[in-house]
Amino acid sequence: MNYSKRHWSLILGMLAALLLVSGCNKGKHPQPPQPPPTPAPTANLSANPNSIQRGQSATLTWSTENATDVALDGNKVDPSGSQTVSPTETTTYHLTAKGVGGTQEATAQVTVAAPTPTPTPTPAPTPTVTDDQLFAQNITDVYFDYDKADLRPDGQQMLARAAQMIKQKGWRVQIEGNCDERGSTEYNLALGERRADSAKQALIQGGVSADSIKTISYGKEKPQCTESNEDCWQKNRRDHFTLLH
């Protein structure tokens, strides 16, 4: 084809104008305001949990904005998403978010600890660590008045709730009755027995079977504190509950 000279000079003129315009940006002459630049990408990366034992897994979760090209340690991924990882050593993960407005990186580290030596296997079913915590959080000490073995209203309420949890979990419970230091050694063993029995009866009323409950009295032999004041005495006039394994 045959482009006329006029056609070419028009194009060159336009190009020159473009170059001039772009070149003018770097010049000292005041320029008209630039149109707003494309926003830079944002990137967020997190690991949960961020500390595991070897053999366990963590979940990486990320989100980005204004990115067209997102990669997790070199592998292309969606702009936002999550992935499960099981590193065998402490590892730092890199998320790279590229967009028209630039590139943004984010990192997250998963710390890997060697597991503690495996204890000898216990027969199933056994209460787990979580069960002990659950038990301790929900079945709390019950306190008594001076020389009394009657449950107070708050004790009764706790035991009513506790009965449900004990039944549901199939737990076996030990109730330990205690007394303050002032009474006589032998009588306090008997009083502690009554206190433990009070709580036992409340649990039975709540539907727990008697076979699942064991009582023992410590009298005043295992105090929580030893000061001779009402504060401490009250702390010792208690039933304490433990989960039998």
Partner 1 sequence: MHRVKTTVFALSLLTLTFFAYTPRATAQGTVKLEINMGQERPRIAVPDFKTATGDPQTAPLDQVFNQTLWNDLDNAGIFDMVAKSFYPAQQPGQPTELTAKNWSDPPPNAGVVTFGNVGVNSGKVEVQGWLYDVKNPGAPQILGKQYKEDATPDNARIIAHRFADEIIARLGGGINGIAESQIYFVSTRSGTKEIWSMDYDGANQKQVTKLGSLALSPRISPDGSRLAFSGLTKESWQIMMYSMDLGRTVAFPRYHGDNFSPAWSSDGTKIAFSSSMHSGLSEIFVADASGANPRRLSTGKGDVSPVFNPKTNGQIAWVSGRTGLPQIYVMDADGSNVQKMTDQGYAVSPAWSPNGLLLAFSWVRKYGPGVLGGEDIYLMDIASRQIVQLTHDGGRNDFPSWSPDGRHIVFQSNRSGTEQIWSVLADGTHLQQLTRQGRNTQPNWSFK
Query: Where along the sequence are the contacts to partner 1 (CB under 8 A)?
Result: 146-147, 182-187, 189-191, 193-194, 196-197, 200, 214-217, 221
Shortest separation between residue 182's beta carbon and partner 1, angstroms: 7
Nearest to 70, CA basis, from 107, 104, 109: 104
Nearer to partner 1, 134 or 243 (CB): 243
Nearer to partner 1, 46 or 174 (CB): 174
Nearer to partner 1, 54 or 222 (CB): 222
Shortest separation between residue 225's beta carbon and partner 1, angstroms: 17
Distances (CA, A) of 208 to 75, 160, 212: 56, 10, 7
How does 166-188 read in b/e, with b if 16+ C-beta sit within 10 Å?
beeeebbbebbbbbbeebeeeeb
Shortest separation between residue 141's beta carbon and partner 1, angstroms: 20
Which residues share a beta bridge with 240? 176
Shortest separation between residue 186's beta carbon and partner 1, angstroms: 5
Nearer to partner 1, 131 or 197 (CB): 197
Give the alpha-carbon dihedral of 193, 214, 134, 53, to 10 degrees: 120
